[in-house]
Amino acid sequence: MKDNILLAGATGNLGGKIADMLISKKANVIAIVRKETNHTKIENLTKKGIKVLQIDMTNSDEIAKACRDVNCVISAFSGLRETIVDSQKLLLDAVVKAGVSRFIPSDYSSDFTNLVPGKNRNLDLRREFHTYLDTKPIKATTIFNGPFMDLLTTDMPLILFKKKKILCWGNPDIKMDFTSTYNVAEYTANVALDNSSPRYLKIAGDTMSANDIKNLMSELSGTKYKLFRPGGIGLLNSIIGVAKFFDRSKTELYPAWQGMQYMRDMMEGRAVITNHDNDRYLMKWTKIKEYLVSENVK
């Protein structure tokens, strides 16, 4: 008998990949989307064999009705307080009301359990939701995967390709975890189908220090990369404070200072995963070298 898995956030980047992985594992996938969701997005999900329910995502009764006979609910929301805290609380309350036994919150992040509260806005929101989640009568599983590997070539200024340098604040030998979105999606699908999954699972496709990445980029490019070390963690914290002070929008998901907060947490060593749960499921893990080669970086 197939498992019925409900997915909230299936039209997003990670959510779409999770949906694909669930389908590949022969699960019955139900996606709940807002009534105003673009028709093309709905059609794309339907073509894959996903049951799409357009509902009022602010109506707890409608969400609970969609959750009938569901084994596990996956949240793949992305956003700030309105989404990560408020919308997820509403979703969770409806899931509990419907009697669903298992829930996977939208974390998919660095392990924030050892971080100092108040130092990383986006992770603080997830921590706040966890405080609420842990009061509810439902079995939850959080997946910590470190930064997405995709950030190495996009929004995270760790590899300075044009300057042939690796940005490093503090100790260049601190290990950092990275996981591809495809690996995160596949692992999440496995967790959703695993009734024995624990409260926390920690994974990483690859783990490297700034020095390791410097050596790898030198190998891949044929050009010697060097470390760019503008200062220590203390200076980075000061720069973050100034950037936040002069940021007037407050609504961007990843403003420059938020990216700096993630980088600070990685390079400070507080978010390092010491015991990985990669072997819980049979998977092929993408390594940083393999990812960079696939992106044809030099």
Could you state, in order of their start, the residue ranges of all structural domains in the chain? 4-145+180-202, 149-176+206-272+282-294
Close Cβ partners of 239 (under 8 Å, ≥ 6 residues apart): 260
Confidence category of residue 28, pLDDT binned at 50, 70, 90: very high
Q: What is the pLDDT of residue 298?
A: 64
Average pLDDT rounded to a whole number, residues 3-22: 97
Helix or strand (DSSP H, E) at 160: strand 159-160
Confidence category of residue 1, pLDDT binned at 50, 70, 90: low
pTM for the full predicted model: 0.95
DSSP strand pairing (165-169 vs 139-140): unpaired
Measured distance CA(114)–CA(141) in Å, rounded: 18
Range name among 39-48, 85-94, 253-262, 286-295 with the lowest pLDDT average: 253-262
Please determine, looking at this structure, whether the domain spanning 149-176+206-272+282-294 carries the CATH number 3.90.25.10.
Answer: yes
Domain 4-145+180-202, architecture per CATH:
3-Layer(aba) Sandwich (3.40)
Q: What is the pLDDT of residue 129?
A: 98
Close Cβ partners of 245 (under 8 Å, ≥ 6 residues apart): none
Higher pLDDT, 116 or 228: 228
89-123: pLDDT as tens digits: 999 999 999 999 999 999 999 999 989 899 999 99
